[in-house]
Amino acid sequence: MAQENPLYLYERAPLTSPISSVYDYYWLAEKVGTPYYIVEESTLNDRYEQLKEAYAGFNGTVRIALSIKANFNPYVLKFFIKKGSMFDLTSPEELFFLLHSGGSSDRVVYTSVTERLDEYEEILSKGVKRVVVASFSGLMNLMEAAERLNLVPEVGIRINPEVPVKAEIKASYKNGKFGVPIGGSTQDNATNMIKSIYSTPNLKFIGFHFHLGSQIEDPSAFIQALDKLKAFSQKLKREIPAFELKMLDVGGGMPVNYGIRVPSPKELGTVVTERLNNIKEELGYDYDLYVESGRYLTAESSSLLTKIVNIKNYSSHKYIYVDAGYHLLLDTALVHQIYPMEVLPSTKEEPVKTTVAGRLCDTMDVFPIGPEAKLGGAKQGKLMMIKNVGAYSLVFNMPFHSQVKPAVVYRDVNGKYFLARKRQTIDELFQEEGGDLLNSCIQID
Ligand SMILES: Cc1ncc(COP(=O)(O)O)c(C=O)c1O
């Protein structure tokens, strides 16, 4: 049996290797238990550089912002802080994570959904200077918070460009949840809001923000949105003598390869940059370009290592049960996200129809299988690696079936491993879920 253990068959990855080896994955499983996540710093670094490079042709300053909502692990945040990244934040709690990881509120673009007065007071008092508003009442709350604190925040307007987007997750559609339309008969429109900002001494208009959706493969939606903003800016230029554009934030959406080829950042970025440069020239404003990204910057850096705990064979179908589930990878159930998967080590086998099933007692708890899956050689006790899980997975971890949050291991660029999140203990989970209140009996009266 010992000879089957990969710890005897494989060697630890050299420190110079950008990623871990099969040995390392088994060795770490013994150290931190399964399932666990591993984050490779070299991939974080590569994706940050690729995204920067994609917009390098922009005629002006480019600011890359990590959308913290995709991954708020403090080790991950620390990496982006060191890189000098900006941060796209949506809540005071995310600001807490950023500041406690060593970040600065100077580097924040704050785009809220709730836009409450107390929220704006909190983030402004903690030094956030750039706020994107997405409703008239949000703007009024920001105005009041700024007045109370005697501050002059820079304000962007989140525009809903209402352009069609081909993507799984769309954020631009008529009467949508996010942003405001350019015009309209109610107060919730960008024209009205910008005029209000220019008539308020304690707010400084800086520009536009839009976010079209996630996993966008076709740049034409960006082009349409930018063209709308160009025409809108020309109109504002005529109507408001002091109008000036200092920021254009094109949101997120850079796609990730989940086993099916998607355009590279360079392919998409070049098309968008070209149009941005034309618009800049036509308008004559020296604006900075902000590019937000959660998925592209973090997804491919991380894998989930899960143990095969059972195998069931029918005459024409095989089930591989693992000790992970959608409580660790919510998007498998929510949007049937395909993640590349590989048995460690995998072997060539006659293909048989296979389902990879999670440990949860729920029909939805199966992992969609893509063309790149390597499922041969599955055996009880072996590890399965589920790849590209660094975005929108850790942040959704749930205790369904009384499951604890798994450990997160961080491998730095020097090949050293660090514990980036401890595996929660069952006792900690029990206490957090109310176990600690059983004896203290706190009456609410
Ligand atoms: C305003 C905003 N910016 C950026 C992002 C990040 O998008 P993605 O992860 O697709 O890059 C989101 C995602 O929801 C968002 O709402």
94-115: average pLDDT:
98
**Is any atom of ligand 1 closer than 6 Å to the C-beta of 160?**
no
List beta partners, residue 355: 319
Quick check: 7 pLDDT over 90?
Answer: no
Place 10 in a pLDDT band, splitting at 50, 70 and 90: confident
Whole-number Å distance, alpha carbon 423 to ligand 1 midpoint, is 28
Taking phi first (over 0 means left), then psi (-120 to 50 degrees means alpha), and beta for anything else, what does residue 336 get? left
For residue 248, what is the enclosing H or E element?
strand 247-249
Whole-number Å distance, alpha carbon 430 to ligand 1 midpoint, is 33
253 Cα nearest atom in ligand 1? 10
Quick check: 167 pLDDT over 80?
Answer: no
Asked if residues 46 and 57 have their Cβ atoms less than 8 Å apart, the reply is no
Question: DSSP letter string over 267-313?
Answer: HHHHHHHHHHHHHHHHHT--PEEEEEESHHHHGGGEEEEEEEEEEEE
Q: What count of other Cβ atoms lies within 10 Å of the Cβ of residue 3? A: 6
Class of CATH domain 2-40+300-433 = mainly beta
Residue 426: what pLDDT? 98
3-state secondary structure of 223: helix
Whole-number Å distance between alpha carbons of 173 and 151 = 34
Using one digit for the tens of pLDDT, what is the confidence trace for 169-197? 787 788 888 999 999 999 999 999 999 99
Nearest to 268 by CA among 298, 284, 291: 291
213 Cα nearest atom in ligand 1? 10
Whole-number Å distance between alpha carbons of 130 and 98 = 15
252-267: average pLDDT:
94
**Is any atom of ligand 1 closer than 6 Å to the C-beta of 295?**
yes
171 Cα nearest atom in ligand 1? 16
Place 4 in a pLDDT band, splitting at 50, 70 and 90: low
Give yes or no for a cis peptide into 35 (omega within 30° of 0): yes
Q: Where are the domains of the chain?
A: 2-40+300-433, 104-293
- The pTM (predicted TM-score) of the whole model is 0.95
Percentage of residues of the chain with pLDDT beyond 70: 98
Quick check: 239 pLDDT over 50?
Answer: yes
Whole-number Å distance, alpha carbon 315 to ligand 1 midpoint, is 44
For residue 207, what is the enclosing H or E element?
strand 204-209
Quick check: 14 pLDDT over 90?
Answer: no
**Is any atom of ligand 1 closer than 6 Å to the C-beta of 77?**
no
Using one digit for the tens of pLDDT, what is the confidence trace for 383-399? 999 999 999 999 999 99
Asked if residues 279 and 230 have their Cβ atoms less than 8 Å apart, the reply is yes
Whole-number Å distance, alpha carbon 128 to ligand 1 midpoint, is 19
293 Cα nearest atom in ligand 1? 11
Cβ within 8 Å of residue 340, ≥6 positions away: 258, 259, 370, 372, 373, 386, 387, 388
**Is any atom of ligand 1 closer than 6 Å to the C-beta of 158?**
no
Residue 1: what pLDDT? 40
Quick check: 3 pLDDT over 80?
Answer: no
**Is any atom of ligand 1 closer than 6 Å to the C-beta of 111?**
yes
Q: Token match 């099933």: residue?
A: 357
Whole-number Å distance between alpha carbons of 79 and 81 = 5
Using one digit for the tens of pLDDT, what is the confidence trace for 283-304? 999 999 999 999 999 999 999 9
3-state secondary structure of 179: coil
Whole-number Å distance, alpha carbon 187 to ligand 1 midpoint, is 26
**Is any atom of ligand 1 closer than 6 Å to the C-beta of 70?**
yes
Using one digit for the tens of pLDDT, what is the confidence trace for 206-234? 999 999 999 999 999 999 999 999 999 99
Cβ within 8 Å of residue 94, ≥6 positions away: 68, 69, 72
Place 351 in a pLDDT band, splitting at 50, 70 and 90: confident
List beta partners, residue 342: 374, 385
List beta partners, residue 38: 303, 409
Residue 2: what pLDDT? 43
Whole-number Å distance, alpha carbon 298 to ligand 1 midpoint, is 12
Asked if residues 61 and 289 have their Cβ atoms less than 8 Å apart, the reply is yes
- What dotted CATH number matches 104-293? 3.20.20.10
DSSP 8-state code for residue 341: E
**Is any atom of ligand 1 closer than 6 Å to the C-beta of 254?**
yes
Report helix, strand and coil shares of the chain as percent, to nearest 5: 35, 20, 45
**Measured CA distances, 296 to 71, 73, 170, 204 (Å):** 11, 16, 16, 31
Percentage of residues of the chain with pLDDT beyond 90: 89
**Ligand 1 pocket test, candidate residues 166, 214, 298, most atoms within 8 A of CB:** 214
Quick check: 133 pLDDT over 80?
Answer: yes
Quick check: 20 pLDDT over 90?
Answer: no
What's the mean per-residue pLDDT of the chain? 95
**Measured CA distances, 70 to 74, 87, 300, 396, 411 (Å):** 12, 11, 12, 9, 19
Asked, colleague to colleague, whether 2-40+300-433 and 104-293 share their fold, the answer is no
Taking phi first (over 0 means left), then psi (-120 to 50 degrees means alpha), and beta for anything else, what does residue 174 get? beta
Whole-number Å distance, alpha carbon 89 to ligand 1 midpoint, is 10
**Is any atom of ligand 1 closer than 6 Å to the C-beta of 153?**
no
**Is any atom of ligand 1 closer than 6 Å to the C-beta of 265?**
no
270-278: average pLDDT:
97
**Ligand 1 pocket test, candidate residues 47, 48, 55, 69, most atoms within 8 A of CB:** 69
**Is any atom of ligand 1 closer than 6 Å to the C-beta of 35?**
no
Residue 139: what pLDDT? 98
**Is any atom of ligand 1 closer than 6 Å to the C-beta of 407?**
no
Place 165 in a pLDDT band, splitting at 50, 70 and 90: confident
**Is any atom of ligand 1 closer than 6 Å to the C-beta of 252?**
yes
Quick check: 23 pLDDT over 70?
Answer: yes
Place 163 in a pLDDT band, splitting at 50, 70 and 90: confident
Residue 5: what pLDDT? 64
Whole-number Å distance, alpha carbon 297 to ligand 1 midpoint, is 11
Asked if residues 235 and 248 have their Cβ atoms less than 8 Å apart, the reply is no
